[in-house]
Amino acid sequence: MTFEYAPAPESRSIVDIKAKYGHFIDGKFVAGKNHFATINPATEEVLSQIALGGASDVDKAVAAAQKAYTRTWSKLSGKERGKYLYRIARILQERAREFAVLETLDNGKPIRETRDIDIPLVAAHFFYHAGWADKLDYAGLGKSPQPHGVAGQIIPWNFPLLMLAWKVAPALATGNTVVLKPAETTSLTALLFAQVCQEAELPDGVVNIVTGDGRTGSAIVNHPGIHKIAFTGSTEVGKKIARAIAGTEKKATLELGGKGANVVFDDAPIDEAVEGIVNGIFFNQGHVCCAGSRLILQEGIADEFIEKLKVRMAKIRVGDPLDKNTDLGAINSREQLLKIQELAGVGDSEGAERWSPACTLSDKGFWFAPTIFTGVTQAHRIAREEIFGPILSILTFRTPQEAIEKANNTPFGLSAGVWSEKGSRILWATQQLRAGVVWANTFNKFDPASPFGGYKESGWGREGGKHGLSAYLKEGK
């Protein structure tokens, strides 16, 4: 007999979405001029109208951030700055469910993830960095390291509020003020965070949020009043930013794309590894820069492993993101869905073999079934390009050296995974892999105390831990 799941939807009554939003500048919500719709990608329902920030909005936000930097925030002791961050962390914990539901509505990711991963990590980031604010002399940057001033922060749509936390918490802890632009398709939780700033009585202008698209982001990057850029997004845009600031004194951290290799040796615990591979690629619909999007399997276990993987994939529940039993939610936008479909089509035409479990997808909203490609070679585009969707490319290897060569054969270097029961082999492989984060016998784990960031074309700098602070500080004496 089989057990059926009854629908278990989380109530959306906890969120109150306004019909229209403006920007958050100098502690106040100000009306925008032009607006665009933000939708629920699971239903295509219009949730609200978001202001399209222009150069004058960015000007005002930067001016407010500069004023707040010189008049209040840089004058405040680290101890007091820290207390504001603790307050914010506590309010985020109190309002966690509201944030989780709102994030799921606007982004399409399952409530199980927003509730259990995104929002708890958001609060943890503020709590962790709150404690740093009055201990910066111990960050390894000499005595009295100094903030840069105004940080311009541009964040992606895959972990909207979490990426805000990764950026805002260290910036504020180190004494910088912020102009932040959320991603075009996922502004709502950032705007709710603005309310939290008000509730925490954060001084006006310390955090400013300007919503909009790439043009708004570009206005922030090119604004002369910005001293430091923090960007998470595509490698393509990262390179544009690097060029845009080449002639300036602006500092930058860039968290960019990846094509993470998950290497499974023949002595790996197979069932655990299958679970880890599924989490590595299907977590957050594969909209993860550090996703384990290439599975590199030792030849002797490949057939058995792929069979078990298929059995496990057939259990993945795709559907209503607000349902507490949902594993795989909606693709964030039509644009992203088209990109995923295009690259999957390229996988077919280049000769790889596609497989997905049977699953019914809603005809409203944006959906893509969990998918694997076998028979993939290193030359295939699906082995080289970041798909940013629930597609796993499977390659095989015979010798450990070959596994490392395949894993490292990419211009990216963000993440990698190793699966083996042998300690010395794990340490050897983690040493050889050219990636900023290596998960061994686990995958997609994050923590504010743990530095995150990439080698090579996956970006510049680290976020999290002691290492992440250095991005926001000038070395002291």
The answer to whether 24 and 206 have CB atoms below 8 angstroms apart is no
Three-state SS letters, 267-280 = CCCHHHHHHHHHHH
- Angle at 230 (CA atoms; ends 141, 166), nearest 5 degrees: 80
Can you tell me which of 268, 437, 469, 473 binds another protein, judged by CB under 8 A? Answer: 437
**Which candidate in 10, 103, 184, 255 is catalytic?**
255
Shortest distance (Å) from residue 99 CB to another protein = 19
Q: Which stretch binds another protein (CB under 8 A): 181-189, 246-254, 279-287, 362-370?
A: 246-254
Instruction: Return the C-alpha torsion angle 229, 462, 335, 333, nearest 10.
Output: -100
Q: Is 450 in the site for another protein (CB under 8 A)?
A: yes
Shortest distance (Å) from residue 72 CB to another protein = 30
Q: Is 258 in the site for another protein (CB under 8 A)?
A: no
Residue 79: is it exposed, middle or buried by C-beta count within 10 angstroms (0-12/13-18/19+)? exposed
Can you tell me which of 49, 198, 222, 441 binds another protein, judged by CB under 8 A? Answer: 441
Q: Is 436 in the site for another protein (CB under 8 A)?
A: yes
Q: Which stretch binds another protein (CB under 8 A): 41-49, 237-245, 290-298, 348-356?
A: 237-245
Q: Which stretch binds another protein (CB under 8 A): 42-50, 168-176, 177-185, 436-444?
A: 436-444
Could you tell me what percentage of the chain is helix, strand and coil, using 3-state DSSP and rounding each to the nearest 5? 40, 20, 40
CA-CA distances (angstroms) from residue 347 to 341, 342, 357?
Answer: 10, 9, 17
Total of chain residues touching another protein, rule CB under 8 A: 41
Q: Give the other-Cβ count within 10 Å of 203's Cβ.
A: 17
Report the alpha-carbon distance of residue 318 to residue 437 in Å, rounded: 28
Q: Is 282 in the site for another protein (CB under 8 A)?
A: no
- Angle at 140 (CA atoms; ends 135, 144), nearest 5 degrees: 55
Q: Does residue 37 sit in helix, strand or coil?
A: strand
Q: Is 384 in the site for another protein (CB under 8 A)?
A: no
Q: What one-character DSSP code corresponds to residue 3?
A: P
Which is nearer to another protein, 57 or 463 (by Cβ)? 463
- Angle at 45 (CA atoms; ends 42, 50), nearest 5 degrees: 110
Shortest distance (Å) from residue 178 CB to another protein = 24
Q: Is 475 in the site for another protein (CB under 8 A)?
A: yes
**Which candidate in 289, 290, 386, 457 is catalytic?**
289
- 197 catalytically annotated: no
**118 residue type, one letter:** D
Alpha-helical runs (H) found in 143-269:
160-173, 188-199, 214-222, 235-244
Q: Is 354 in the site for another protein (CB under 8 A)?
A: no
Interface with another protein in residues 98-127 (CB under 8 A): 124
- 290 catalytically annotated: no
Can you tell me which of 366, 373, 452, 472 binds another protein, judged by CB under 8 A? Answer: 452
Can you tell me which of 32, 152, 365, 453 binds another protein, judged by CB under 8 A? Answer: 453
Q: Is 301 in the site for another protein (CB under 8 A)?
A: no
Q: Which residues bind another protein (CB under 8 A)?
A: 124, 140, 235, 238-239, 242-243, 246-247, 254, 256, 411, 413, 426, 430, 434-442, 445, 447, 449-453, 455-457, 459-460, 462, 465-467, 475
Query: Which residues are designated catalytic?
Result: 255, 289
